[in-house]
Structure 1
Amino acid sequence: MAFGKKRLQRNMEQNSDPGIDPSIRNQGSISIRLTENTKHLQSIYNDCSDIIFRHFLMGNKTHAVLIYLDGMSNIEEIDHYVLPALMREEANSDVESILKQKLTISSVKEIKTFYDVVKEVSSGNPVVLIDGQIIGFSTGLPKWENRSIQEPTAESVVRGPRDGFIEAISTNVVQIRRKIKSPNLKTKTIQVGRYSQTEVVIMYIEGLADQTLIEEVQKRLNRIDIDGVLESGYIEEFIKDHPYSPFPQILNTERPDVTAANLLEGNVVILTDGTPFVLIAPTTFYSLLQSPEDYYEGFMSGTLIRWLRYFFLLIALLLPSVYVAILTYHQEMIPTSLLISVAKSREQIPFPALVEALLMEMTFEALREAGIRLPKNIGSAISIVGALVIGQAAVSAGLVSAPMVIVVAITGIASFLIPRYSASIALRMLRFPIMFLAGTLGLVGIMLGLLTIIIHMCTIRSFGVPYLQPMAPMKKSEMKDVLIRAPWWSLKKRPHWTGESNQIRQSSNQKPSPNKENE
């Protein structure tokens, strides 16, 4: 028992300062002696062959060292602007003159601790330490390869911007600022992960985003204590309200236009270095069913497509379950001619409808996952050909009936109409327990499953916002962008989230008319 208490206390002491690499947490400040600083840093970077210590003389008299990470720092800029300028000058007590007058680079920052040295070097910024100085300075000269900006494959549109986020967080911030040029677009940067020290940027528009929402996002991010963050999905799991819910409570996107649109509605955006996926909070269930193209085409076509999307959402969730329930318990609901056809096709099938549906659904999901994991050139072909061949072979072998293959195929097509992959996964997961309820209780089981899902969704909140808003609780003023896509000139108010400030997003009386006088 005593050993357990000591171990718990030791772990609490190690975790007292989350977000910092424990190996360099208490390394102290830079010494006035360069030899001590160099020896200490070499011990920190022991067995790191890509860390370069470049010793040189300032003014042929004062010793100095340049520390950088090979492959992450701009060697050409170092050779051209940093080393020649420093070698020509004599170091003195006026370090400010060295920083501001001698180096012809835009980004120079003072550093005072070894932790700052490690953080700057690991970020690709070369660090200069001078003998006799208790401070050093980092030069903002990082350089690494970036992927070019391309259209996101998972969120493609017929009409709309073709640019997408990449893995470089600075490029992603620039893409958002290109669309929102107001100085009220604010950014706050933090580091998450003890060892990865991943850069995370919080973006919001001051005056639109509620202050309590901003503070809540910061609080949830600051309490994350993990070894490393390699993708925004790590952060999403730590900050969501209901971790055991299958429904996504934070919107993720690769599109700058979607991000900018949510910022203009008062949402908060979380960008993570190393991933093109941006997190948007809060979100609602209806936001997951909206495509950016809904707002680029006419409002009538957008409304029609939105209704079609809602209809096929129900099909993707319930069609196999309804088929199993009717075929097992409610045959009287099927027309006689159709019932005879279905019974004839199932005459040689050895399995009940529930087992048949589960077999086909699991096969379809396996083929879909295989198509995603295979190389892109053959993935789609393998999944389509595999579904056709396996389905026909299963029918010919008498394992499944032809109507079941049609039902599963329509269900799979319907799931592709959902714009957000995370929402599609949630429906795919819920489809199986509803099928079990349909196979045991019939249509009553389906209704119990639907009621359970609706009750659960009514209890979910995303950063304090009800998940089914504006349907539950009902807000008539915001219904214009849920069941229909109202024209832009009628969307006078932005959605209500956590505050009441600045809800008017455009002037009134903007409905176009050929007889309208110019004011």
Structure 2
Amino acid sequence: MSFSNKLSQLSDNLEKNIKMLEEHFCHTEDLMKKELLFSKQKCVILYLDPLVKKELLQSSIIEPILEGEKEAIEQIVHAAEVKKTTEVSEVGKQLLDGFCVILLEGDSFAYTASVGGIEGRSIEEPKNERNIKSSHDGLVEEFNSNLQLLRKRIKSPFLKVKYFTIGNLTHTKVGMVYLENLANKELVEKVERRLSSIEIDQLYTLGNLEQLIEDHPFSPFPQNLATERPDRAVSYLAEGKITIIVDGSPRVLVVPITFFAFYQAPDDYNSRWLVGSFFRIIRIFSFIVAISLPAIYIAIVSFHSEVLPIGILYSIRTSLEYVPFPPFVEALTMQIILELLKESSIRLPSPIAQTIGIVGGLVIGTAIVDAHIVSNMMIVVIGFTAIASFVAPINEMGTSARLLGFPTMIAATLFGFFGIVFVLMLLFMHLCKLDSFGTPYFSPLAPFKKEEIKDTFIRLPFWKLNTRPTDAKPAYANQQGRTRAWKKK
């Protein structure tokens, strides 16, 4: 409801002020009203019933007012935050944030006191980004809890937060977090400009925000990294990147980001460098496998069978003897079945999902081979491809790899190895051209930066990582000094 300038200000008439606030909230029945006497002066407390803790309201607001002497409201109530305003719209906003409003007869001011405290999900280990040696706490849906997890790890006065309110209906709280002395000023201004320019009615999730601020919405690759792990978010803050928190979302968004960051895991840095490098190489190799293995099988069976030894070729030809469909139809059918099984496992309760996985992997797989719909080798290829796509620590990148397998399979069906090479060439050209908030997406390979390879395909010993990645253009590159000075003694 819109108000004229005259009605947007509170007056010294208590009943009129109450009526204005009731009209502001369209006479909703969960706007509660409690009348009291404060030093023989009529007093009314307004609050939205679902957003406040009744015990806190009683002990911190109502009892001090009833027992209070002739003092200012700010000195009597026991709330952590008390504000004073004359704007109806500001009072309405405070009510929606879990505050209560105190109105006094003959006073044109409204006092708002914090009594919110909606119980949320407790902090627990992220289910989508499990690690062995890293911390086991994860982000939750409550904005302040997520900010606390970040501040607990970076105890620096340079950690800065900027607040935004997005959504004409939802008024979703969004926070941009970065290190003031480290983050690039142009990057900060760019992110701030994109966030402040959003005009939308509702913003519910981090995924909605990601789609509104990304550079290339039609690219198959995610250009912002969404994570549930506070330790991961903090590590990117220390590199000069920016973290975006959305109230109500259990993930935070990290910008800018590069392709190789999606195949790095916190456990890489908690293990010895040989172990971390080994698993990182496996993850990057799994990306190539996920997008090209079914296509390579199709190309070999359809065009280039001479590349296989006679024994393996004989086995493949034997399994294909009674299959009436071409290899592309086999691969497409199995990929679709795989996606159906994955989606059903996600939507169903955990005990049933495990049963579906066993039924899908064993019963359906065996039956479909016995029925001569697909060959044994195709089951192996698709299973290996699925495992390779699930290796990515961030689920969005694994899904993108599986999607990219479809055009690669079509090219292999039409042109064999030449088609695969052509699609991969286009793919890597696209990766080299892509950027995230002005940062090259395929850095440090394009453009090539020799000194940053030490934390890309492999991870050198921690004491060798004495400079920050330059993809986010941090204010200074050095991040540690003489970390092994004891050797000189």
Q: Which TM-score band (shorter chain)?
A: over 0.9
Deviation, structure 1 residue 301: 0.3
Aligned residue for 1:160?
Answer: 134
**How far apart, in 2, do the equivalents of 1:247 and 1:112 lie?**
49
SS of equivalent to 1:214: helix
Give the conservation status (yes or no) of the 8 Å contact 2:83–2:113.
yes
Which stretch shifts more, 328-337 or 394-403?
328-337
SS in 2 for 1:126: strand
Q: Please list the CA deviations of residues 462-497 of structure 1 after superposition, one character each: whole Å capped at 9, or x if unmatched.
A: 111000111100111211100210111111111113
- Partners of 1:424 and 1:128 lie apart in 2 by 53
Counterpart Cα distance in 1 of 2:180 and 2:150: 15
- Deviation (angstroms), 1:90: 7.2
Aligned residue number for residue 357 of structure 1: 331
The answer for the alignment partner of 1:386 in structure 2 is 360
Contact (CA 8 Å) 1:324, 1:353: kept in 2 or not?
A: yes
Amino acid at match of 1:516: K
Structure 2 CA distance, aligned partners of 1:111 and 1:453?
A: 57
Residue in structure 2 matching 1:253, options 227, 249, 256: 227
CA-CA distance at 1:112 after TM superposition? 2.4
Compute the displacement of 1:172 (Å). Answer: 0.8
AA aligned to 1:436 is I
DSSP 3-state at the match of 2:380: helix
- Contact (CA 8 Å) 2:240, 2:474: kept in 1 or not? no
Q: Which residue does 2:45 correspond to in 1?
A: 66
Q: Residue type of the partner of 2:247?
A: D
Residues 42 and 433 (structure 1 numbering): CA distance in 2 closer, same or farther, change over 3 Å? same
2:183–2:474: 8 Å Cα contact kept in structure 1?
no
1:269 alignment counterpart: 243
* 1:287 pairs with 2:261: yes
* Aligned equivalents of 2:332, 2:325: Cα separation in 1: 11
Structure 1 residue ranges without an equivalent (≥5): 1-21, 92-96
Task: Describe the SS at the equivalent of 1:243.
Answer: coil
Is the counterpart of residue 42 in structure 1 residue 14 in structure 2?
no
Q: Could you say which residue in structure 2 is the equivalent of 1:79?
A: 58
- Confirm or deny: 8 A CA contact 1:266 1:497 kept in the other structure: no
Q: 1:419 aligns with which of 369, 393, 398?
A: 393
Q: Does 1:223 align with 2:197?
A: yes
Question: Which residue identity lines up with residue 42 of structure 1 in the other structure?
Answer: E
For structure 2, the residue ranges without an aligned partner over 5 or more in a row are: none
8 Å contact 2:175–2:244 — kept in the other structure? yes
CA–CA distance in structure 1, aligned partners of residues 152 and 207 of structure 2: 26
Deviation, 1:406, is 0.6
Structure 1 segments (4+ residues) deviating >4 Å? 22-27, 88-91
| Bigger shift: residues 493-502 or 448-457 | 493-502
Correspondences of 1:424-443 after superposition (within 5 Å): 424-443=398-417
1:55 matched to which residue of 2? 35
Separation in 2, partners of 1:207, 1:362: 49
Does structure 2 retain, via aligned residues, the 8 Å contact 1:126–1:140? yes
Aligned-residue Cα RMSD (Å) equals 1.7
Match of 2:453, SS?
helix
Pick closer, same or farther for the CA change 1:512–1:361 going to 2, 3 Å. farther
Q: Is the 8 A contact 1:254 1:276 kept in 2?
A: yes
Tell me the distance in 2 between the aligned counterparts of 1:99 and 1:184: 35
Q: Which residue of 2 aligns with 1:29?
A: 9
CA shift, 1:25, in A, is 10
Which digits, 9 at most, give the CA deviation of each residue in 1:76-126, with x for residues without a partner?
Answer: 1221221233345577xxxxx624422233211122211111111111111
Contact 2:240 2:472 in 1 (8 A): no
Offset from partner CA, 1:269-297 (integer Å, 9 cap, x none): 11111111110111000001101100111
Q: What's 1:115 paired with? A: 89
Give the superposition deviation at 1:231: 0.9
Count of residues paired in the alignment: 488
Quote the offset at 1:353 in angstroms.
0.7
Match of 2:305 in 1: 331
TM-score (norm 1): 0.91
Distance in 2, Cα, partners of 1:296 & 1:99: 53
Structure 1 residues 387 and 488 mapped into 2: Cα distance closer, same or farther (>3 Å)? same
Query: Would the aligned equivalents of 2:443 and 2:471 in 1 still touch at CA under 8 Å?
Result: no
Q: Distance in 2 between matches of 1:84 and 1:217?
A: 46
| Distance of 1:120 and 1:256 partners within structure 2 | 29
Alignment of 1:84-163 (within 5 A): 84-88=63-67, 98-163=72-137
Summarize deviations over 1:420-473 as a string: whole Å, max 9, x none: 101011111111111111111111111111111111111211111000111100
Please tell me the residue identity of whatever aligns with 2:37. L
Aligned CA distance change for structure 1 residues 297 and 506 (closer, same or farther; 3 Å): same
Say which of 210, 221, 237 aligns to 2:211: 237
1:203-259 CA-to-partner distances (Å, cap 9, x unmatched) read: 111111111111111111111111211111111000101111111111111111111
Give how far 1:59 is off: 1.5
Given that residues 241 and 472 in structure 2 are in contact (C-alpha distance below 8 angstroms), is that contact kept between their aligned partners in structure 1?
Answer: no
Contact in 1 for aligned 2:287/2:388 (Cα 8 Å):
yes
Alignment match, 1:373: 347
Distance in 1 of aligned mates of 2:306 and 2:108: 88
- 1:12 maps to none
Q: Which moved more, 1:42-51 or 1:414-423?
A: 42-51
- 1:252 & 1:25 partners in 2: Cα distance? 43
Which one-letter code corresponds to 1:67 in the other structure? L
Letter in 2 for 1:389: V
**In the alignment, which residue of structure 2 is the partner of 1:516?**
488
List per-residue Cα deviations over 1:352-375 (Å, max 9, x = no partner): 111111011111111111111111
2:280 to 291, 303, 306: 306
Distance 1:309 1:511 in 2: 30
What amino acid is the match of 2:52? Answer: S
TM-score for both structures, normalised by structure 2: 0.96
Change beyond 3 A, Cα 1:63–1:258: same
Worse-matched range after superposition: 269-278 or 37-46: 37-46
CA separation of 1:148/1:415 partners in 2, compared to 1, >3 Å: closer, same or farther?
A: same
Question: After alignment, is 65-74 or 432-441 more displaced?
Answer: 65-74
Query: Which residue of 450, 457, 461 maps to 2:435?
Result: 461
Task: Work out the CA distance in 2 between the residues paired with 1:368 and 1:102.
Answer: 58
Matches within 5 A, 1:340-355: 340-355=314-329
Aligned to 1:185: 159
Letter in 2 for 1:215: E
Which amino acid counterpart does residue 30 of structure 2 have in structure 1?
Answer: D
8 Å contact from structure 2 (residues 184, 240) kept in 1: yes
Identity %: 37
